Amino acid sequence: MAETANSQDPALVLEGVRKRFSGGGRDVIALDGVSASVKRGMVTGLIGPDAAGKTTLMRLVAGLLLPDEGQITALGLDVRRSPLEVQSSLGYMPQRFGLYEDLTVQENLDLYADLQNLPPGDRAERYEQLMKLTGLAPFTGRLAGALSGGMKQKLGLACSLVRPKDLLLLDEPTVGVDPLSRRELWDIVYNLVENHGVTVLLSTAYLDEAESCQEVILMHLGKLLDQGKPGKFTETMAGRSFMVTAPGMNKRQLQRKLGEAPPVLDALILGEGVRVVTNEAQEPTPADLGGQDDDLSIEAVPPRFEDSFVAMLREQGQEVATPSQPSEQQCAESCDGPVIEVENLKRRFGSFMAVDGISFVVEHGEVLGLLGANGAGKSTTFRMLCGLLPPSEGRLLVAGHNLRKAAAKARQRIGYMAQRFSLYANLSVKENLRFFARVYGLNIQRRKQRVQWALEEFELAELANATSGELPLGYKQRLALAAALMHEPEILFLDEPTSGVDPLARREFWRRINALAEQKVTVLVTTHFMEEAEYCDRVVIMDRGKVLAEGTPEAIKKAHRTEEDPTPTLEDAFIALIEQNKEIIQKEQAA
């Protein structure tokens, strides 16, 4: 921070950096001639989908990898020549920050203070600063492994900042973190930049976060696409974003219809309507969009960063698949009535109530979103529904059965996609698909047909013989969904299906879910992407094992309209709910 003399120099300069990895018989070019610079004293976002080369770039800057070509200068030092000096003056938080889970918060801090040569005399003061910054003060005695995802990230940040740094590299710090903790993390980052003069380079796949950066670097497949202020990107999109509503029409059908219209680049469900980005800056007529005057209302809306990102990637040739037409839907028993019933469900782990008396129903053909912060009890509920975990109390029925006790046949009717990629990593794509087809008892003919369907539908044909563990995240997740659909289940359980997946893949994924919903497949999904919750018919918001609210996304947003904020997003509503609940609990504890 004493570097006022050359504060005009960029904090980080990359010149023609190339990096290739070889292994498993093939070469991958992770970075292909990247030149960029990061200005001092601001937050620069490193944005790009999977396999863009974000993590490789971070590691190169931190001196953990050596570039094959090109030069990297961090804080005026050549990284190749003096890695140790660079490492002492920059802070780096890897994607999976290596906290020692069996050490307490304080012990982790002490360790990094020792490793960063922070003199013992300065520690008390610095710790106090960091605790104030991160709000971890009440938890110093707790084991790091017992912290929630968001708190772990904050501790990771504190550890990499234990000695004041000029440059901070954060690799996807907000992945897997709920919206509340995400906001808090961003507050910390801005506090650092504004009050402590730190330069931050942050990579993310959340595009709404790009808008919070002061400058962004866009990357795709190892190449730099562009660099500049986020506003610059949104400007090019001016006049191309519209909100389309059709009162008499199902929003999913509307989205599909709009997506197929020629002038439309991108169509996305938002609330009750569909947000459309057009190819050119010209307001489309209802006829352009394949409808009549009276049934479509079109309204111009301000562009978002995401629009430009999607547009740019489309120009780079990223195609988005269109799911095939809905097929005849099979209804094994009845097509009406609740498919999932949960009544006063409880689950205890020792003295901890992970799920504390929740009740909800899911109707046939409905997409229900289960929202909640990390540790709200979403996954536990899921595991109980799927029969993987016995409930401590309460009643639950899936398609009229308790899956834990029901005959194996009942499980034939459900599909399940776990939170982490949980297919066989060392089998190929085709082998995985065949395996699940066989396990679900499909005969040879049907099996061939379904495997073929999955390869085509999910555009996996080219990768049919690739080892599934080595696929990019987006493909893995496609494969997982394909495997869960091999037997055409009536009910689909999706546990945080899009965590860590880039926006394009996420969109594609939801397009498929929408298509399934149209085929009257019942879908239960957990997520903490609030934009995704917009796709659901109904959402249930959970916190600390309890249901806080239930209803359509619109209804929940409406309930949280205030004078200052007449159009709250679902995220605003969610955060308000969680904070209310926190206050209630604190009052109860005080009483």
Partner 1 sequence: MSRGLPGWRRLKGLIRKESYQIIRDPSSIAIAFVLPALLLFLFGYGVSLDAKNVPIALVVEQPSPATASLTGDFQDSKWFEPKHFNDIHSAQEALRHREVMGILWLRSNFTRELFSGGPAPIGLFLNGVDGNTARIVAGYVQGVWGKWLVRYAQSQGREVTLPVDVQQRIWFNPEVRSTNFLVPGLIAVIMTLIGALLTSMVVAREWERGTMEALLVTPVRLREILLGKLIPYFVLGMGGQILSVAMAVWLFEVPLRGSLWVLMGVSALFLLAALGMGLLISTVAHNQFVAGQLAIFTTFLPAFILSGFIFDIGSMPGWVQAITHVIAARYFVQVLQSVFLAGNVWPVILMNSVALVIMAMLFMGLVRLRSRKRLE
Partner 2 sequence: MFRRIWALVVKEFLALLKDKTSRMTLIIPPLFQLLIFSYAATFDLNQVNYAVFNQDPGIASRELLGYFKGSPAFKLADTMEHQEQIAPAINDQKVLMVLHIPQDFTRNMLEGRSGQLQVIIDGRNSNTAMVLFGYVNTIVTSFSTQWSQDHGWASPPAELKVRTWFNPNLESRWFIVPGIVGLLTLVVALVVTALSVAREREAGTFDQLLVTPLHPAEILIGKALPGIIIGLAEGSLIVFLTVNMFGVPMLGGLGALYLGMALFIISAVGLGLMISSIAVTQQQALLGAFLFLVPAVILSGFATPIANMPALVQKLTLLNPLRYFLVIVRTVFLEGAEMSLLLPLYWPMAVIGVVTMIIAGWLFRNRLY
Write out the residues near partner 1 by the rule CB under 8 A: 59, 62-66, 83-84, 87-88, 90, 92-103, 107, 110-117, 156, 159-160
Answer with the entry of partner 2, partner 1, none that 411 interacts with (C-beta below 5 to 8 A by kind): partner 2
CB atoms closer than 10 angstroms to residue 369: 24
146 belongs to the binding site for partner 2 (CB under 8 A): no
Residue whose CB is less far from partner 2, 58 or 175? 175
Q: Where are the extended beta strands (E) located within 113-222?
A: 167-171, 199-204, 215-220
Residue whose CB is less far from partner 2, 26 or 409? 409
Q: Which two tokens stand for residue 476?
A: 């893995």
Q: By CB under 8 A, what part of segment 474-493 binds partner 2?
A: 493
CB of 116 to partner 1, least distance (A): 6
CB of 427 to partner 2, least distance (A): 5
CB atoms closer than 10 angstroms to residue 301: 15
SS3 506: helix
Answer with the entry of partner 2, partner 1, none that 83 interacts with (C-beta below 5 to 8 A by kind): partner 1
In three-state form (DSSP H/G/I as H, E/B as E, the rest C), the secondary structure along 351-396 is CEEEEEEEEEEEECCCEEEEEECCCCCHHHHHHHHCCCCCCCEEEE
540 belongs to the binding site for partner 2 (CB under 8 A): no
* Alpha carbon distance 531, 464 (integer Å): 32
Answer with the entry of partner 2, partner 1, none that 146 interacts with (C-beta below 5 to 8 A by kind): none
Task: Tell me which of 242, 305, 440, 458 binds partner 2, using CB under 8 A.
Answer: 440
Estimate to the nearest angstrom the gap between the alpha carbon of 448 and the chain centroid. Answer: 33
Residue whose CB is less far from partner 2, 81 or 409? 409
Q: Are 171 and 94 in contact (CB under 8 A)?
A: yes
Helix (DSSP H) and strand (DSSP E) numbers for the chain? 19, 23
373 belongs to the binding site for partner 2 (CB under 8 A): no
Instruction: Kindly write out the interface string for residues 20-39 of this chain, putting x where it contacts partner 2 by CB under 8 A and - elsewhere.
Output: --------------------
427 belongs to the binding site for partner 2 (CB under 8 A): yes
Answer with the entry of partner 1, partner 2, none that 233 interacts with (C-beta below 5 to 8 A by kind): none
Answer with the entry of partner 2, partner 1, none that 87 interacts with (C-beta below 5 to 8 A by kind): partner 1
Task: Tell me which of 4, 8, 325, 426 binds partner 2, using CB under 8 A.
Answer: 426
User: What is the β-pairing status of strands 69-74 and 393-398?
Assistant: unpaired
497 belongs to the binding site for partner 2 (CB under 8 A): no
Task: Tell me which of 37, 227, 412, 552 binds partner 2, using CB under 8 A.
Answer: 412
* Alpha carbon distance 516, 519 (integer Å): 5
Answer with the entry of partner 2, partner 1, none that 117 interacts with (C-beta below 5 to 8 A by kind): partner 1
Task: Tell me which of 96, 132, 229, 438 binds partner 2, using CB under 8 A.
Answer: 438
Estimate to the nearest angstrom the gap between the alpha carbon of 204 and the chain centroid. Answer: 10
CB atoms closer than 10 angstroms to residue 17: 25
Q: Phi and psi (nearest 5°) for 431?
A: -60, -40
Residue whose CB is less far from partner 2, 190 or 421? 421
Residue whose CB is less far from partner 1, 65 or 460? 65
Using alpha carbons, select from 161, 117, 154, 112 the residue that is nearest to residue 137.
154
How many residues make contact with partner 2 (CB under 8 A)?
33
User: Measured between alpha carbons, how far is residue 505 from residues 318, 446, 458, 488 in Å?
Assistant: 10, 28, 11, 22
40 belongs to the binding site for partner 2 (CB under 8 A): no
DSSP 461: G
Q: Which two tokens stand for residue 354?
A: 């992970």
148 belongs to the binding site for partner 2 (CB under 8 A): no
Query: 275: which strand partners?
Result: 243, 268
Answer with the entry of partner 2, partner 1, none that 329 interacts with (C-beta below 5 to 8 A by kind): none
Residue whose CB is less far from partner 1, 85 or 211? 85
With residues binned 3-state (H G I as helix, E B as strand, rest as coil), the percentages for the chain, rounded to 5, are: 35, 25, 40
353 belongs to the binding site for partner 2 (CB under 8 A): no
Task: Tell me which of 321, 388, 559, 584 binds partner 2, using CB under 8 A.
Answer: 388
Helical H runs in 526-569? 530-533, 553-559
Q: Are 569 and 371 in contact (CB under 8 A)?
A: no
- Alpha-carbon torsion angle 535, 540, 542, 548, nearest 10: 130
Estimate to the nearest angstrom the gap between the alpha carbon of 55 and the chain centroid. Answer: 16
403 belongs to the binding site for partner 2 (CB under 8 A): yes
389 belongs to the binding site for partner 2 (CB under 8 A): yes
- In the block, which residue shows the tokens 């008892």? 441
Q: Which stretch binds partner 2 (CB under 8 A): 2-10, 79-87, 218-226, 401-409?
A: 401-409
CB of 479 to partner 2, least distance (A): 12
470 belongs to the binding site for partner 2 (CB under 8 A): no
* Alpha carbon distance 200, 40 (integer Å): 8
Task: Tell me which of 421, 470, 472, 580 binds partner 2, using CB under 8 A.
Answer: 421
Tell me which residues touch partner 2 (CB under 8 A): 383, 386-389, 403-404, 408-409, 411-412, 414, 416, 418-427, 431, 434-436, 438-441, 443, 493
